Structures are given as structure tokens and as C-alpha cells.
A and B are shown apart, each in its own frame.
Chain A
Amino acid sequence: MLEVIGNTWRHWDLVLSFTLRDIKARYKQTSLGIAWAIVQPLSIMVVFTLVFSVFAKVPSDGLPYPIFAYNGLIFWTFFANSLTGGTLSMVANSPLIRKIYFPRETLLVSVLLASTFDLGIALLLFAVMLVYYKVALTITVLWVFPLLALQMVLTIGMTGLTSAAHVNYRDIGHALPLFTQLWMFGTPVAYPIRVIPEWLKPLYMLNPMAPIIDGYRRAFLLGQAPDLPALAVSAVVTIAVATLGLVVFKRAELTFADVI
């Protein structure tokens, strides 16, 4: 783990170059350009609003459903996109991996950073919605930073595992979209956490993303601190995943060039 942090630090320019490449290349020859970073969560928000709020009357903690859903969606999209991008990053860069040595984890970090850029764009619309729905931010909004940090560590750990697995078994690439979609429904993105039945809650809260997504909502919209005991569990799971992920990744990295 320390090695990964060290490499990322030493090769920061490379991380930056990869990140810039990803961001620039993603929106080259598109007419909407970076607006695509908003379109994705926005359109899902519209669908969710219709399905969960208008049709199914899912509660939303007393908040207007659109902003309730959008808040969860932008951070979930950030997670899902960086998870997908990170998983595929080794194979997507296989010409490089086959030919040139550089610390492979720089690719994982750069995917995460490029997604962070998209998150920033999506947050612009969120700011507009905050004004429109007259939500007053409180000091609790500062909780967003530790939450983001936790989410990023989780993402790097997850992608360490999945990207190494994907190099060896391309099955991962097929399973991933399904997996992230299922995971989203196991996370309080479209619904509040309190609709979970009590008996299921201990299991539910093992999902490290659950208190994180819930935490953003509390921090931004409800003026509350996150559910700290649940967040502590999430942090433990995250650190376990990250340690395992990076150990596996650094071991598998040695033979990437041979099997990719």
C-alpha cells in the first residue's frame, strides 16, 4: 500500500498526463463535450423521479425527490464510472503495458482523477439545484471531504482487484455492468436508508458504499453528520478491500505484460 502511494507520488506527472489524456480524449469529437458528465446522472434522475417518486411514491426524507436522487446519483456515478474505467484500464492500455514499464497503478489513479473531474462538472448542476430548491448548506457539508476520501480509497482497492482479475479473466468485463447496477440497488441512491427493514440492516450496512452515499445526503441536504458507527464499519471494510486489492494488484502486475 505504501509502495502504491509512493509510486503515485513519484510518478505524479505521469498520473497527471494519463488523467489529462482520459479527460481530453473522452470528449474529443463530441458536440456536447463535457456536458455529458451531467447528462448521465441527470437523465437517470429524471427516470428515478418518475418511477420511484411519481409512480411508486418512495419517501425521500422530506426532500424534493429530484435533488434527493441527484445527490446520490452523482456520487454513485462517480463510483461506478471509476470502478468500470479502472477495471478496464489495464486491458484498455494493453499496447503500453506490453511494451513500456511504468508503475501500473498510475492508470488506476488517473482513471479515478478523470472521474473526479466529471464529478466536479456534475456538481455544478447540483449547485444550481441547491439554489433552486432553496436548500441551505450548513457546516456539516465539510463531511463531504472525508467521505470522498473514503470512497476513493475503496475505489482504488476495488479496481486493484478487478483490473488485475480482468487481465486474466475477461469475464470480469462482462459481469461488471451487471454487478455495479445490482450494487446500486443495494445502496441508498434512489431511496432513503430508513426504508430498509431492521432485520436486514446489519447485513445492508456491510456494504461500504451505503453509509457513504447516505452520508453525502446528510451532509448536503439534511445538515447532519453521517451515521458514524455505520461509517466506521464502512471504513474497516474499505481498508480491508484496499489492502487486499493492492497486494493482489502488485503481485499480478509482474505478469500483466505476459498475459494481457
Chain B
Amino acid sequence: MAHGVIELNNVSKRYRLRRGWHVKSIRDEFERLARRLVRRGPPSQDDFWALKNVTFSLEKGEVLGLVGRNGAGKSTLLKILSQVTVPTVGSFVARGRLGALIEIGAGFHPELSGRENVFLNGSIMGMSRREVQEKFERIVAFAEIERFIDTPIKHYSSGQQMRLGFSVAAHVDPDILLIDEILAVGDASFQAKCLNKLAELKEDDKTIILVSHNLTNITEHAKRVVWLDNGSVRMIGEPNEVVDAYLEHVTSDGVGDVKSTEVNLDPDRDLAIGEVVVRNQKEVVQDRFDRGETALIDVSYVTRRAMPGVVFVVSIQDLHGYPLGGVATDPDSVKVNAAVEHGVLRLKLDPLLFTKGAYTLSVHAMDPVSKRYYDIRRRAARILIDGHRATSRESSGHIHYPHQWEHIR
């Protein structure tokens, strides 16, 4: 890969954290200068390495996915790729015209009309005015904004502004395209349009770097995936492999770190939730399941007095903590009385309807009348589902419904 379209070689990026992080004071500057002149003393405590030794390259026409948690360095990497900033160490080469669907509409001026802003934004993104002129009709039509094109965009809705911004950026026709959160723009039908545009760009042999929290999009479109963790490349390779490892890592973090023996009931609390254990049908502890299998979730708790009416809720979240629903106990059938100091409740999920992926469980106990929480345990346990992924973007999501198809006519 000596002649990749994009080459990053040992790229590191340092930021200086200091008081008033945006604006340096002249005094700080003198301190730094003094330190540099003397060349000793401890290295600054204020240094923060947002990227550490990142190396990879991309060939023409390749689609690279980028995953990582918030703060892992994705944005910094995109900034370097889009040449907004330079690496502190290491080298970076991009061959070809570079376009970014990152900060769409950043160059909009609120007082100017949609038309004027299309020209302004188009030239900021590297198009000539003539080029914008040629593409103008298409840009406006794509954004579905024809009626308001001569209105100052300060009167646009935020959705309209984003659509127009995306549309301009999508028509730049770059060789290398950086895309961040393509699905964050607009309503469902506009998102479909954006995804079609992405597919179109792929067909045109564009080199694309795709950042998305939607891992289905990543595995669907990318040929390779880079997993950034703490500023370093943790893994790079085949999309499904990397995404699976990433999921495993993200969901295991902080899960199940409370054991039942450690649960102490504070004097001012009435009830505490202890260990939450996931078992299979045969009551063996396990967190990997196939879709359609049965899972048992055992929730242990400690209490000191009878608590009529307490409700336990087990809720399920996707990787990003987005709630997928939960189930609550019926206070008439599940009664907590002080005779049992350590209780264990069992929830049976049968069958598991989730698509391939990782899910976390949160458990809380509450009084349904006063809405007072006795205890909350977030990310108390996890479930990994193997098998098929959501097959395409039309069926993306987390639930696979039991279903059958038939011809009725």
C-alpha cells in the first residue's frame, strides 16, 4: 500500500489543557517559553494526547468505517483528515480532492438567502462559483427547499438548514469523502435519500471514511473498520470482526461489577439491588445467546422491612444506552417481606427476540405510587446475541419479530 489515497503514519495529536482552554494568556505563554528555554522540569501536566501513533492507509475506492466511544479521538482524527488541523507528530498525506460531510452548513450566514448561502457554502467546500451554478438546481431539489430558496436562512427550520447543508456538501464531488453521522440529518425520508447518495458515491469509486454510531451502517458499507480507543488504534480489520470486538468491549465495561456479597444496605435505605445474573435455560450462567433461546435473569436484593407494593423493573438498552423497553413486576404477585432478607427474583425472557448485537440490562426498584426509587443499577448485566444481524437498513433495529409470510391473493 505504498500509494494509498490516504496515508497516516504514526500520527499523534497533542492538545494543551490549561486554564481558559480556548484563550491562552500571555503569562502562560511566557511560562511555556521559559520551560522551553530551560529544557527541564517535568513535562507539562496539561498535555493531552487525543491521538497516539495512528497508522493506516486507504486505497482508492475503499470504504473505511471508524468506531469508538465518545472521546476516543474520532473527531480529532477527522479534523486531521480534513486538514483543519495538523498532527503534532507523524505524517499525513491525502491525494485528491477532499470533501467532508461533517460539519454541514458550518459556513451558512443567517442573514443571507438560501441561494446566496448555497454559493457561499459551495465555495467554502472547494467548488467554483460556476460549478455551483451548474449544480444549483440539483442541490436545491435534493434539499427539497425550492420554495424558500430566496428567504434568509435564519427563517429556516433547523431541519431545512441541515438538509441544505448536506445537499451542498453531497454535491461537491470529491475524491475522498469524510462522513460523520450521516443518519443524524433530517427525517426518515431524507435519511433514506442520504443513504442512497452514499451508495451512489460508493459505486462511483469514491474513497470514503464513515463514522457512525449506527454499527449496522458501518458493517453494511465499510470494507474495513478502525476501532479507536483512547486515541490509539485498538483494532483494524474486517468489519464484522472489529464491530463484534468493539461491542464486546463496550458492553462488558462496568457490567456486573457488584457481587451479592458486597451489597451493604445503608441505614438510610430500605432496599438495595445486588447481583444481576443472566443464565440459560439450564440455569448455567452465560451471556451469549442465539436469537430465540431462553434467558433467565436473576435479580438479587437485600431489604430490612416488609415493602408491600414495591415494583422491580428490568429494562433493556442497546449499546448506546438507548432504551428498548422493559418489564415490571406486578406488586400483587411479587411481594417483598422482611422475612426474606436476601431475595432473588427471576425474570424469564422466552424467546429472546433481539437481533445480533450487545444489550445491557438495568434494574431498578421503585414505589409505583410515589415514583420514589429505592435503588437503581444501571448496566447491571449484559446479553450478547449471536446469529444474524439485522439484514439491511430496511430491517435495521434491534427486534426480530416472530413472523410468517404468505400469499393471500
Contact = CB atoms under 8 A, between A and B. Distances in A.
Interface string B113-128: 0001001101111111
Contacts of B103: 95, 98-100
B26 interface: yes
Contact of B84 (A25, A28, A101): A101
Interface stretch (A10-18, A53-61, A188-196): A10-18
Interface of A is mostly: helix
Contacts of B25: 169
B107 interface: yes
B22 interface: yes
A170 interface: yes
A21 interface: yes
A3 interface: no
B102 interface: yes
A95 B124 CA distance: 12
A13 B123 contact: yes
Interface stretch (A82-90, A146-154, A216-224, A252-260): A252-260
A9 interface: no
A20 interface: yes
A24 interface: yes
B383 interface: no
Interface residues on B, range: 35 or more
B124 A102 contact: yes
B85 A257 contact: yes
A98 B79 CA distance: 8
A100 B111 contact: no
Interface of B is mostly: loop
B79 A257 contact: yes
B123 A25 contact: no
Given A13-B129, A20-B116, A101 B22 contact: no
B373 interface: no
Interface in B122-177: 122-130, 152
A7 interface: no
Interface residues on A, range: 20 to 34
Interface in A83-135: 95-102
Contact of B82 (A18, A100, A254, A258): A100
A257 B84 contact: yes
B84 A24 contact: no
A99 B129 CA distance: 21
Contacts of A169: 23-26
B164 to A, nearest CB: 16
Interface in B326-370: none
Contacts of A102: 124, 126
A100 B117 CA distance: 16
B109 interface: yes
Contacts of A100: 82, 84, 100, 103, 106-107, 124-125
A-B interface, 5 closest residue pairs, ranked by CB to CB distance from nearest = A99-B103, A101-B83, A17-B123, A28-B111, A257-B85
Interface of B: 15, 22-26, 29, 79, 82-86, 98, 100, 102-103, 106-107, 109, 111-112, 116, 119-120, 122-130, 152
